[in-house]
Structures are given as structure tokens and as C-alpha cells.
Amino acid sequence: MSINSNALSTYKLLKATAEVAEKSLEGRIQHYRAHLKSEDKELRTYTQKAAADLLGVNNRTLKRRHDQGDFDHLSIQKGANGHYAYTLSNIFAMADTLGIHSDHRSEQDKLQVIVINSLKGGCGKTTSLVNLAAALATTNIKRYRIGIIDLDPQGSSSSFFPSREHDPITVGDLMRDCIELDEGETWTQLVSDSFQTTHIPNIRILPSGMDDFYFEHETATELKESSGYDNTRHYHKLKERVIEPVQDEFDIILIDTAPSLNFMFYNALMASTAMLIPVHPEAVDFDANNKYLKRLGEIYHTVAALGHEGWDFMQFLVTNYVKGNHSQRDIVKDVRTAFGRQVMSYPINHSSAITASSSSFNTIFDQKTSDSLASRESLLKSQENIKDVVDELEMLIRSNWASTQSSLD
């Protein structure tokens, strides 16, 4: 095969650009690591009143239990002001001491696997996902076991939960079967260890990496060379190789996706029990969203024919909504008129606190108020907004758990 000389120049240019980009990326990653202290990213701490609120107990009760020495074994640190500065881990351990049980799903409740996807790039998938996960994990004492799978090789959601390891196992590594087991190690152990603990005690993340892009190419090749779905099960890889082995370790798994309808996305659909579709209320974005929905239906048909069991819910989530912007308000009205109750009641509002936190890869829930580049007021306002969204999401999740139904009966 001969390559046109012009194409060769283009190729050389791209290679040179890629080298520069790689160096720049390496430098930036090192910069983030140094800047973020990613090895030991610290969660915000809570005052005694905030800890008591989260635990659902009286401030005086906490004080008395402290005086009795009930929490001495936790070595809770004090801040510069001499008051206790509780970490979330401290609060969870205090809950155990106080006999406040975690509220996980029971055995008959289905693991919820929620996929967030839209073909529209930059509509707020990652920002919404990481903030919703952090709110689910940190704003109540239920201690949900939350897994995040970053199915976007760009690795945006992985950046919010930096790995302690230099070269962590990625979701693509597991799906592409390119890891060898150590002697005596089981696949389940390997997958479980690949879901890394994060600075938020009950969130674990399975990160992505740039090599995960190869999954697309390899799947296409595999398809060409093999006959019949049973030989490849290329749409079942995430479900069967990654999620099923560790399903008992989680209550909720959230999957971030690339703005693409690629093989990875088919895998996400096959593994999903629910779907969240972010809609940025700008005219071009809403139009793009409507075109996407047509394609989504066609794609879902393929997945359903291969055995998918249907969603517990599919919701639209208005994201990055600028309150008071008339044209955005009109579009939200159109979205609600078109999709009715399938639109989440609250949008995620545009917030300078989210912009500021995201720029240092923090969610607004692990952002220390004192470190925030946005005002305390805007941080609290945005936290309240996301909590409203999460309350509804939690209701949707729990209403599909048999234990919730039976307690209602």
C-alpha cells in the first residue's frame, strides 16, 4: 500500500503534535498531582453541629458521648480553633458506635446501575455525575456503597477521584482482558481491587485510561474475525466481566460515558438498570438531544434483542441551567412539555461554586469552604440545589428496591 506524500506529511505533523501533547499532558498531570496532593486528597471536615445534624442526633448527646470517652478510640483531630474537626470517616465510625446502622440495599434489592449519557459533548455529564455521587455519599448517614465507572477514556471523572497508584487498572483493561492474574488470585479479587477506594469513604472508582480507546478498534476486529454473538459477547463485557463479579459490594453504580454511541456505550446500556440524560437548555443542544433520542431508541433495540431486561427509570436532567435566562427558561419549558414526568423536578443550576470546584477537580461536597474560590453563599446554595436533585434520584432508586416496597406494604 502506498501512501500519498501529502498524507505522509499530515501523518508526520500529527505524530509531532501527539508528542508535544503527550509531554504537555504529563506535565499537567504532575502539576495536578502536586497541586491537589492527590495521594492524600483531603475531604472537608465537619463541625460538631454539622456532625450531629448528619448523624441525626442532638448536639448535646454528642458532647455527652465525647465526655464519656465513647469516641476516644477514633482519635478525632481538633482544628486550629480547638474544636473537633470531624472527617466523614470519623462520623461514619461514630454512627457505628451510636448504633446507627447503614441503610444498604437488601439481598432482594437489585443493584442500581445508572448510566449518564448524551451525544452532546460538554452538556454536564461528568460534572453532574461526580456531584450527584458525592451528594449521595456524603449528605446522609445511610452509607450507600457507591461505585463509579469511568467509561470515558478522557478520564474526566477519574480526575475527581485521583488514584493512589501511578498506573491503575482501568475499566478498559478489564473489558479488553489484558491483565494476567497473579498466582492464586481470582478474577473477582482482581476486579474488586481495581475499584479503588477514594478520599470519600464510601465511593470507589474504576478509572479509565487513554488505552481504553483500543476497546473500540479491538471489538471491531474481533467482530470481523468471529462469527456469531456468542463467540464475542462484545456488548456484555462490562456487565459480565466487570460488574457481576463485584455486584454484592455496591448499592449504586454510576457510569460516566463519552459523548459517543460507541461499543463502550453499548456495553454501558447492556449493564444499565437506569438512564440519566443530561440536557443543557440551549436551543442547539436541545435539538441535538432530540436527534440523539432517535438513535438511542434504535440502539436500545439491539441491546434488548440481546437480553437486556429494561430500565427501572429513564430521566432527563436539565444541567448548567442559568436561572433568570429567558431563552433557557423557554427551552426548559419545552423539555418539560415534551417529556413530562420524565424530566427531573429540579435542574442542576449553573453555579460559580461548581465552576470553581471543578477547576481543581473537587465536587462541591468535598470542597473545603475555606479553599473555595467561590463565595460560601454560592457553595451552600449549590449544595442545596444538588441535594434536591439527589433526593429525587434516591427516591427513584429506592422505589425500585423490593425492601422499600415491602416496608410500604
Ligand X SMILES: Nc1ncnc2c1ncn2[C@@H]1O[C@H](COP(=O)(O)OP(=O)(O)OP(=O)(O)O)[C@@H](O)[C@H]1O
Subset of 47-86 contacting ligand X (CB under 6 A): none
Name the one range near ligand X by CB under 6 A: 76-84, 123-131, 187-195, 396-404.
123-131
C-alpha separations of 354 from 88, 93, 273, 358, 389 in Å: 21, 29, 28, 6, 15
In this complex, which beta carbon is closest to Mg ion, that of residue 126 or of residue 196? 126
Residue 152 binding ligand X, by CB under 6 A: yes
Shortest Å distance, C-beta 151 to ligand X: 10
Q: d(Cα 357, Cα 386) in Å, to the nearest integer?
A: 14
Residue corresponding to grid cell 427509570: 313
| 3-class secondary-structure state, position 119 | coil
Residue 308 binding ligand X, by CB under 6 A: no
Four-residue CA torsion sign, 191, 39, 158, 17: negative
| 3-class secondary-structure state, position 118 | coil
Residue corresponding to grid cell 443542544: 285
114: partner contacted, choices ligand X, Mg ion, none (Cβ within 5-8 A by kind): none
Interacting residues with Mg ion (CB under 5 A): 125-126, 156
Residue 126 binding ligand X, by CB under 6 A: yes
Shortest Å distance, C-beta 388 to ligand X: 13
Name the one range near ligand X by CB under 6 A: 54-62, 121-129, 243-251, 398-406.
121-129
In this complex, which beta carbon is closest to ligand X, that of residue 87 or of residue 138? 138
Residue 127 binding ligand X, by CB under 6 A: yes
Residue 288 binding ligand X, by CB under 6 A: no
Q: Which three cell numbers stand for residue 129?
A: 455525575
In this complex, which beta carbon is closest to ligand X, that of residue 87 or of residue 385? 385
Q: Which three cell numbers stand for residue 49?
A: 453541629
Q: d(Cα 226, Cα 232) in Å, to the nearest integer?
A: 7
Strand order of the β-sheet with 203-206 is 196-197, 203-206, 146-150, 252-256, 112-116, 274-279, 313-318
Q: d(Cα 82, Cα 403) in Å, to the nearest integer?
A: 44
Residue 358 binding ligand X, by CB under 6 A: yes
Residues near 166 by Cβ (< 8 Å), separated by ≥ 6?
none
Residue 354 binding ligand X, by CB under 6 A: yes
Shortest Å distance, C-beta 378 to ligand X: 10
Residue 348 binding ligand X, by CB under 6 A: yes
Shortest Å distance, C-beta 130 to ligand X: 8
Q: d(Cα 334, Cα 243) in Å, to the nearest integer?
A: 37
Subset of 3-42 contacting ligand X (CB under 6 A): none
Shortest Å distance, C-beta 93 to Mg ion: 34
Sketch the per residue contact string, 257 through 276, with ligand X: x for CB under 6 A, - otherwise: --x-----------------
Question: Considering only CA atoms, which of 136, 179, 156 is closest in space to residue 388?
Answer: 136
In this complex, which beta carbon is closest to ligand X, that of residue 85 or of residue 348? 348
Name the one range near ligand X by CB under 6 A: 58-66, 94-102, 332-340, 348-356.
348-356
Shortest Å distance, C-beta 315 to ligand X: 16
Which residue has the CB atom at the shortest distance from Mg ion? 126
| Torsion on CA atoms 335, 341, 342, 344, rounded to nearest 10 | 80
Shortest Å distance, C-beta 319 to ligand X: 5
Name the one range near ligand X by CB under 6 A: 74-82, 125-133, 265-273, 283-291.
125-133
Q: Which three cell numbers stand for residue 332?
A: 426548559
Residue 150 binding ligand X, by CB under 6 A: no
Q: Which three cell numbers stand for residue 11?
A: 501523518
Name the one range near ligand X by CB under 6 A: 8-16, 88-96, 124-132, 264-272.
124-132
In this complex, which beta carbon is closest to ligand X, that of residue 389 or of residue 396? 389
Question: Considering only CA atoms, which of 264, 150, 266 is closest in space to residue 214?
Answer: 264
Q: CB atoms < 10 A from the CB of 257, how many?
A: 25
Name the one range near ligand X by CB under 6 A: 188-196, 306-314, 345-353, 373-381.
345-353
DSSP class per residue in 201-261: TTEEEE---GGGGHHHHHHHHHHHHS-SHHHH-TTSHIIIIIIGGGGGG-SEEEEE--SS-
Amino acid identity of residue 193, one-letter, is: D
348: partner contacted, choices Mg ion, ligand X, none (Cβ within 5-8 A by kind): ligand X
Q: d(Cα 389, Cα 367) in Å, to the nearest integer?
A: 19
Which residues of this protein are in contact with ligand X, per CB under 6 A?
Answer: 121-127, 152, 156, 259, 319-320, 348, 350-351, 354-355, 358
